[in-house]
Amino acid sequence: MKTVVFTDLDGTVLDEKYSFQDVKPIITQLLFLDAAVVLCSSKTRTEIEFYRRALSISDPFISENGGAIFVPKNYFKVAGFDRQTREYDIIELGIPYVELRKKLQSIRDGMGCKLVGFGDMSTEEVAKDSGLSVELAGWAKQREYGEPFRIVDCNEEQLFKTAKAEGLHVTKGDRYYHLKGKNDKGNAVMRLKEVYVKNFGQIRTIGVGNSANDLPMLDVVDAPFFREKTEPVDVPWKKILAKVVNQSF
Ligand SMILES: [Mg+2]
């Protein structure tokens, strides 16, 4: 039976210094055991492609908090899609970035406090603010379905309400809030699970994350794992590997 591991990136595969060295050997073993590893992050397509290559993963991935599912061409026999590129069949669940930027402005006007989005910052400013390299910050600015932002002197509850009144959602990640449509990691994982089932029959699913925006994803998998802030990043991964090796589902 096919095992599919859905995983967040920041704080789950990547430690606080954006290093994946502790988790990479475990992911390599999971892939060797024929598990699929699906990166499911608030990061952009370009950023995820970078980590996916670095981790030698060739499975589909989910970008920008469930904004879109990217399925490599010929990965599945049967898969529906909304858009195609040379490399991928793409299932789109999010709202286009241009619309989100307009809405961020309305929310800002309605709140009367400071909201600073990636679209308001230069690449260098994003690098400085996030601790990413300038190259990675440039990729992080290539948004398609979501806008990360930070707040200064804003009431969080009011923020959630104001976004909702605009027909949008705000979710809290590790470093930033994210403005997005109804899409979340959970909807996207459910959608991709259906495609896996169509192609592989019965599957077993594992999920791993470390933040509030991972909870919808952890709700829809057979075996959820949550990395606590105090734990080294590879702690849940050791448990996941043991589960897959022992087939203890
Ligand atoms: Mg995270």
Read off the pLDDT of residues 174-230 as tens digits, 9 standing for 90 and up. 889 999 999 999 999 999 999 999 999 999 999 999 999 999 999 999 999 999 999
Q: How far is the CA of 211 from the centre of ligand 1 (A)?
A: 5
Distance from residue 77's CA to the centre of ligand 1 (Å): 31
Express each pLDDT in 100-132 by its tens digit: 999 999 999 988 899 999 999 999 999 999 999
Q: What span, in angstroms and rounded, lies between the C-alpha atoms of 59 and 50?
A: 14
Cβ partners under 8 Å of residue 65, min gap 6: 41, 42, 94, 145, 146, 171, 173, 178, 180, 183, 184, 185, 213
Q: How far apart are CA 97 and CA 117, in angstroms?
A: 12
Summarize pLDDT for 63-81 with one digit per residue, the tens: 999 999 999 999 999 878 9
Strand partners, 83: 90
Residue 213 contacts residue 65 (beta carbons within 8 Å): yes
Q: How far apart are CA 16 and CA 211, in angstroms?
A: 13
Cα 78 to averaged position of ligand 1 atoms, centre (Å): 31
pTM, 2 dp: 0.92
Lowest model confidence (mean pLDDT) among 53-67, 93-107, 166-180: 166-180
Q: Structural domains in the chain? A: 2-94+184-246 (3.40.50.1000), 97-180 (3.30.980.20)
30-44 pLDDT, tens digit each: 999 999 999 999 999
Which of the residues are catalytic? 8
Beta bridge partners of 5: 37, 206
